[in-house]
Amino acid sequence: MLSPLVAGILFFIISAISAFYTVQTTVMPKDFKEVSLNITDYQIQQIDEKTNLVKWILKAKSAKASSDESQATVIKPQIKFYDKGIEKFTIEGESANLDKANQEIILHKNVILKTSDKSIEIISNKMFFSEENPFVEFSDGWQVSNDKGYVIAGNKGKLSKAKDLIVSEGNASLKKLEDQLNLQADTITLELKSDTPVKARSNAVLNIGLDKKLFASSIDIKSNGALNATGAVKVVTPSIQCYSNNMVIIPKPNKNPKTAIFTGNPFVIQDGSKLYADKIEYDFDTGEAHLIGSVHSG
């Protein structure tokens, strides 16, 4: 039997050897930024240094962050954006990547943006929020709807943080069932506080009723239904085609089109005949085109 003193000395030596072996065989990280922290109930917020008011808050169910928390992948994120201390909108999604140094957040899958006044809702699979960017950008199967009845879609879109401007780029479309509005273009801008809220640019096509289409490089639609089109304007109906460089539509009180006025080298094609005039007026009710001024065949 070993004496208690000898047993104690042997225990100390064995413990020291074991500890030394553990330290020697543990791989230490070369860069502690590569160390990941698993955090539950993750939350960060940005404060305006001048006003001391909250600018935005990010909350998440959990996060996997670098040791300095400059980068993080978060689960079930929620962003609340404020303007002068007043909440403007909330964004939620399945996951997000945070770049804290650049104040940038990219949200993924089932992303929904809702404004605090419930005027706008955006559904997307990818959304980009940045401290410096005046817009929230979105892509991947997105759609915007608002309380004015507009529904917007496209390849890429963005909403101003002031909530007054929506832009759709690439295969853009805009619909409004109440006004029977159906518009496509390369780019469509919806400026909600403007007298001319709808602006379509490049390869614009507007469906007018069930059997008429307007093609132009540029189409602007006023809130009262008045319309201005420029650049290779063409209106196609079942019986006649009208062409010009410029066209305006004068609406009825119910916003439906009443008269289209074509100027800038206008001409019509009907029954195989081409006729030019100084001005052409098309009546949407009767389907008749009236040629005014110097009329001649092509």
**181-196 confidence digits (pLDDT tens):** 899 999 999 998 899 9
The rounded distance, in Å, linking the Cα atoms of 55 and 48 is 6
Q: Output the domain CATH number for residue 78.
A: 2.60.450.10
Residue 19 lies in a domain: no
Q: How many CB atoms within 10 Å of residue 149?
A: 12
Q: For residues 103 and 68, is the Cβ–Cβ distance under 8 A?
A: no
Q: What is the pLDDT of residues 72-101, one digit of tens each?
A: 899 999 999 999 889 999 999 999 999 988
CA distances from 46 to 58, 95, 104, 148 (A): 9, 20, 12, 32
162-171, 174-183, 212-221: lowest mean pLDDT where?
174-183
User: Number of structural domains, the chain?
Assistant: 2
Instruction: Give the DSSP H/E element, type plus range, for residue 20.
Output: helix 4-25
**Is 242 in the same domain as 112?**
no
Residue 10 lies in a domain: no
**Is 36 in the same domain as 179?**
yes
Predicted pLDDT of residue 290: 93
Domain extent, residue 130, equals: 31-193
Residue 49 lies in a domain: yes
Three-state SS at 288: strand
- Is the confidence at residue 29, as pLDDT, over 70? no
Predicted pLDDT of residue 36: 59
24-33, 100-109, 153-162, 258-267: lowest mean pLDDT where?
24-33
Q: Output the domain CATH number for residue 287.
A: 2.60.450
CA distances from 210 to 181, 188, 213 (A): 11, 22, 9
Give the domain-ending residue among 178, 193, 208: 193
Give the domain-ending residue among 193, 213, 229: 193
Q: What is the pTM of this model?
A: 0.81
How far does the chain reach from its first CA to its final CA, in angstroms? 123
**Is 239 in the same domain as 149?**
no
